[in-house]
Structures are given as structure tokens and as C-alpha cells.
């Protein structure tokens, strides 16, 4: 197997599909070049007549020019995806997310690193390609990922994210900057955040721009850094950039901006941040290559508590539970 496409999710269709339905309802109001030159036709093809939030992604994978891939879906609720995956014309595995200490504390806590590691250890491909749920993309994406890897390059896909449609809410067409090379565009009731990464195609970008909504990495190197750091779980920030920074130390590859876009429908997931993991590591000057190789000491935890209370506010009652995460080495099953 050449490519393992990893898709991690904890969503139930009945909770998420209303957000997809908004976009389906707006298909007739799409104009040429709403976000990109291909978006109108691709959205019609990917969204029309669907009934499950994973269908646009499945449709995109069915149409890939590159065929030597498998799909690994790591799901907190795998039964929710069984019917939509049944009968797809490519190899797939639907895996229940491995246990996490955060699961027993309720659905408001995110386990992004845990579920990505679950899909990684069940994969078998030489090259890993990460995609998000609620996404669709053109037929060239995996072919480009494989071709560039043969040249010594990883890719990170250009994105249009937070896509939604509301003709009443988004009455006026507009475009404004959200930061360096990132804009929000509103057109005829459609809104999306466009991130083309670089103004030029095939331009090298920093390895930390390993945004796993659409990005490639070799399985060997991802296992060498021990995957994603589950000490980031319980929150929702910094996980993929942390892995990118660790890859930068050991990788023999470059990372470049893809020519192809990935389109992601508005994500209703609350951005629950019970601690700032990136700042925590900065405060303690933590530098490590392997994930799950460090835990803060009690004095460090108290120092962070003081910083967080002073700069952000009160801590979540479960903010320190990540001290209980077991440290381990990832191995493919």
C-alpha cells in the first residue's frame, strides 16, 4: 500500500449534518469563482443528494486519479459511519478510537492526538495523508502527494475552511484579511476562509505548517517522532504544529505548498481550551523530538496555574488531568 489516508472524527451525523444541509440549500446561489475556479462544480458534485457528513469525503476519494491507497477512519462512535462506508470501491478500516482518560469526563473535551494515533497504528501505507471530516477535494490531491514525495517533498494543501451558507446573514459581498495570506470572503450568501499558503505554487513552507486538515508525512518519520503528543489532549490547540516542529529536527524531506485545495464545511465543534499547551511548553523550555516523552512536574504545574489565572482567567476543573496520560511507544499493529 502506497498511501494511507487518515481521517479522525468523533462526530455523530445527526448533530453535524444540519451544518452540511446549509451548504446543500445554497448550491443554486453559487457563482463562478465564489472561492476558487473549481468550487462551484465540485460543491455541486460532492454535496447534492447526500445524507451523511462523511459522504463528500468518500465521493472525493472515489474519484482520485491515484488508486493505491487505503482509508483509515478512527471514530469515537464507529457505528455512525458503518453504512456510509459499506461498499466503497477502495480498501478501508473503520476503527474505534482507543481509550482516553478524557472520554469518561464528557464530550466537551477533545482527543485529537489520541484519535490520530489510533488511525496511525492501524495504517499500512508508506505515505500518510491526513484529511479532516466535513471536507471534499478534487481528483488530483493524492496523486500530487505521491509525486511530490518521490521528489523528496511533503505537501500541505491549500484550504477554504469554515464554509457555510446563509443568505439572510451574509447579505453583503465582502472580502477582508484575517492575517498574512488569509482572507474571509462573502459572496451571494456564501462565506469561507481562504488560505492559499503562498502566493506562488510549489513554494517551500516551514515544516511546522503541517496542518493535518490536508497534509502528507512519511509513516516512518511520523512513527520515529512517536506520532502526536497525547499530553495535548483534553484541549484543542497546537497538536499538528507540535508534530511539525519535531519532524523538522529529524526529517530528510521538505514541505511545500500544494497546488490543490481542500474545502471544509463550517466546523461547529466548540474550541475548548482548558490550558494553553504551547505556552506551557514555552514557560518550561521543553524541547523534545518524541511525543509522550515529557510530563510537567508539580512545581511546573503550579507555575503554569499562576500564569494562566493571571493572564487568561480561572482554570477548568479538569485542566490537570493530562498528568494521568500514560507514556508509551507507538507501534503499527
What pLDDT digit, counting tens, does each position of 22-63 carry? 999 999 999 999 999 999 999 999 999 999 999 999 999 999
Residue 131 binned pLDDT confidence (cut-offs 50, 70, 90):
very high
Helix or strand run (H / E) with residue 194: strand 190-195
In a domain, 304, yes or no: no
Average pLDDT over every residue of 77-99: 97
Question: What is the Cα–Cα distance from 196 to 260, expressed in whole angstroms?
Answer: 9
Question: What is the Cα–Cα distance from 56 to 47, expressed in whole angstroms?
Answer: 6
Structure-block grid coordinates of residue 198: 503562498
pLDDT of residue 170: 96
The CATH number of whichever domain residue 24 belongs to comes to 3.90.550.10
Structure-block grid coordinates of residue 81: 459511519
In a domain, 158, yes or no: yes
- Looking at the DSSP bridge assignments, the partners of residue 151 are none
Question: What is the Cα–Cα distance from 304 to 200, expressed in whole angstroms?
Answer: 41
In a domain, 261, yes or no: yes
In a domain, 199, yes or no: yes
With b for 16 or more beta-carbon neighbours within 10 A and e for fewer, the 246-280 pattern comes to bbeeebebebbbbebbbbbbbbeeeeebbbbbebb
What is the number of domains present in the chain? 1
3-class secondary structure, 245: helix
Q: Where are the alpha helices (DSSP H) in 174-238?
A: 219-224
pLDDT of residue 172: 95
For the whole model, what pTM was predicted? 0.96
In a domain, 321, yes or no: no
In a domain, 241, yes or no: yes
Structural domain boundaries enclosing 104: 3-273
In a domain, 320, yes or no: no
Structure-block grid coordinates of residue 304: 503554569
In a domain, 287, yes or no: no
Question: What is the Cα–Cα distance from 159 to 43, expressed in whole angstroms?
Answer: 14
Amino acid at each position: 500500500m502506497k498511501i494511507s489516508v487518515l481521517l479522525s472524527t468523533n462526530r455523530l451525523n445527526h448533530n453535524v449534518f444540519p451544518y452540511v444541509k446549509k451548504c446543500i440549500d445554497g448550491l443554486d446561489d453559487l457563482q463562478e469563482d465564489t472561492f476558487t475556479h473549481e468550487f462551484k462544480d465540485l460543491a455541486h458534485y460532492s454535496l447534492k443528494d447526500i445524507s451523511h457528513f462523511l459522504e463528500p469525503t468518500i465521493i472525493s476519494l472515489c474519484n482520485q486519479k491515484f488508486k493505491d491507497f487505503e482509508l483509515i477512519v478512527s471514530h469515537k462512535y464507529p457505528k455512525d459511519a458503518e453504512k456510509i462506508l459499506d461498499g466503497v470501491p477502495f480498501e478501508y478500516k473503520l476503527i474505534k478510537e482507543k481509550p482516553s482518560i478524557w472520554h469518561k469526563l464528557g464530550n466537551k473535551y477533545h482527543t485529537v492526538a489520541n484519535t490520530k494515533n489510533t488511525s496511525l497504528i492501524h495504517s499500512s501505507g508508506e505515505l500518510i495523508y491526513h484529511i479532516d471530516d466535513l471536507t471534499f477535494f478534487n481528483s488530483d490531491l493524492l496523486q500530487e502527494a505521491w509525486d511530490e514525495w518521490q521528489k523528496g517533498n511533503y505537501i500541505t494543501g491549500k484550504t477554504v475552511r469554515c464554509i457555510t451558507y446563509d443568505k439572510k446573514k451574509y447579505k453583503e459581498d465582502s472580502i477582508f484579511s484575517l492575517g498574512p495570506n488569509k482572507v474571509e470572503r462573502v459572496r451571494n450568501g456564501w462565506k469561507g476562509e481562504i488560505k492559499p499558503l503562498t502566493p506562488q505554487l510549489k513554494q517551500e513552507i516551514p515544516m511546522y505548517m503541517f496542518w493535518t486538515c490536508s497534509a502528507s508525512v512519511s509513516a516512518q518519520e511520523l512513527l520515529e517522532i512517536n506520532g502526536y503528543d497525547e499530553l495535548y489532549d483534553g484541549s484543542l490547540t497546537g497538536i499538528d504544529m507540535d508534530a511539525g516542529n519535531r519532524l523538522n529536527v529529524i526529517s530528510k524531506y521538505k514541505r511545500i505548498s500544494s497546488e490543490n485545495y481542500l474545502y471544509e464545511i463550517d466546523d461547529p465543534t466548540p474550541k475548548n481550551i482548558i490550558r494553553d499547551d504551547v505556552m506551557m511548553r514555552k514557560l518550561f523550555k521543553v524541547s523534545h523530538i518524541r511525543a509522550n516523552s515529557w510530563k510537567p512536574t508539580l512545581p511546573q504545574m503550579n507555575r503554569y496555574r499562576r500564569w494562566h489565572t493571571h493572564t487568561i482567567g480561572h482554570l477548568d476543573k479538569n485542566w490537570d488531568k493530562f498528568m494521568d496520560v500514560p507514556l508509551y511507544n507507538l507501534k503499527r499493529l
